[in-house]
Amino acid sequence: MQITALIVAAGRGTRAGGGIPKQYRQLRGKAVLDHSIRALLADNAVSAVRVVIHKDDAAYYSEVAAAISDPRLMPPVLGDESRSASVANGLAACNCDIVLIHDGARPLLPAGALRRLIDQMASCDAAFLAVPVNDALWQVTDGKAIAEQPRDGLWRAQTPQAFRLDVIRDAHDKCKTPMADDVAVARAVGIEVVPVIGAEENLKITRSEDFALAERLMRQQMDIRTGNGFDVHKFGPGDHVTLNGVNIAHTHGLVGHSDADVGMHALTDAIFGALAEGDIGQWFPPSEMAWKGTASDIFLRKAIERADERGFLITHLDCTLVCEHPKIGPHAAAMRASLADITGLALDRISVKATTSEKLGFTGRGEGIAALATATLVKI
């Protein structure tokens, strides 16, 4: 089943203030639209994402797309005069079984809610995220409460709203009246639509104060991960070893398919581990000659790139080298500086230290070097 997420981001968003369309304003260091796109890309069932943009926003959107760099993000589609017309333009560009229509200004879509919606589409033609109304409802006239309104059976609609592509295309073709959302379009032509429990945090940013609320909600649902890495390389012929990007003169070299930088390999595996994306051997198989003699910063940079693509910020790296010789202490500062240059982290977020194994085991006999590493990642 091919699923395309269609993100509607062609509005002007003037009520939110800020001087630019709200979907391009910054929220925790990234555009609101960036967060909305990544939330959909986080589910592997989503095979493509298309964004409907305003004709004047091409430059803004290009910056967002460049930062995401995911092959599932397709070229944008230009919007139209109304939301319904913009969606219709986007639907015309889709080639899939199921389409998820999402607001560009909903950056906090939880993975669980998205998964519930996708699962529901196995048994219906149309569904949408929504939450039941629990608060009392009052009709207000001239600033005064006039009459309480019944709330039984009332739900607050959210997005994504999911449809069989042919069903919603046909609905838009038949419904020529602009509608508030695509559930309304579907119901206007008689399509049954199933509500799926959404989430209170699936906020649509509308007013300027919503940015502060979104910030608070993002702090509450922070995703913190820790990964561990371990690597070993034996000594062989050579006059130096490379550890965390620093060449250190020694009586032997380290043997490996690449440059055998045992510290950087452990750090790379720690990041991949935190992402649950395998290990360095899966990404860069030693059986492939392309990686013969390769500098290990290439591996580390790839792990960092994956973290960024998944929306994670690396907040701390810790590497422990285990060996009798060479002495690590005199070179630890240079290693930290090397790693800081590669990762962009501040020095106080990078730790490099060493220990011996009290002359026990292969490291104690001077047969090689081992490294242990820990990486801490935070969802941003």
- How do residues 39-57 score in pLDDT, each as one tens digit? 999 888 999 999 999 999 9
Please state which of the ranges 122-126, 208-212, 271-275 shows the lowest mean pLDDT.
208-212
Q: Is the pLDDT of residue 172 over 90?
A: yes
pLDDT of 201 higher than 80: yes
Give yes or no for residue 18 having a pLDDT over 70. no
Residue 69 pLDDT greater than 90, yes or no: no
| Threshold 0.75, pTM exceeds | no
pLDDT at 28: 83
Give CA separation, 52 vs 47, 76, 217, 246, 353, in Å: 17, 6, 26, 47, 50
pLDDT of residue 15: 67
> Which neighbouring-strand residues pair with 294?
none
Report d(CA 296, CA 282) in Å as an integer.
15
Residue extents of the structural domains in the chain? 3-220, 224-379
Would you identify the CATH topology of the domain 224-379? 60s Ribosomal Protein L30; Chain: A; (3.30.1330)
pLDDT at residue number 295: 86
Concatenated DSSP letters for 175-192?
--S--SSHHHHHHHTT--
Same fold: 3-220 with 224-379: no
pLDDT digits (tens, 9 = 90+) for 95-154: 999 999 999 999 999 888 999 999 999 999 999 999 999 999 999 999 999 999 999 999
CATH class held by domain 3-220? alpha beta
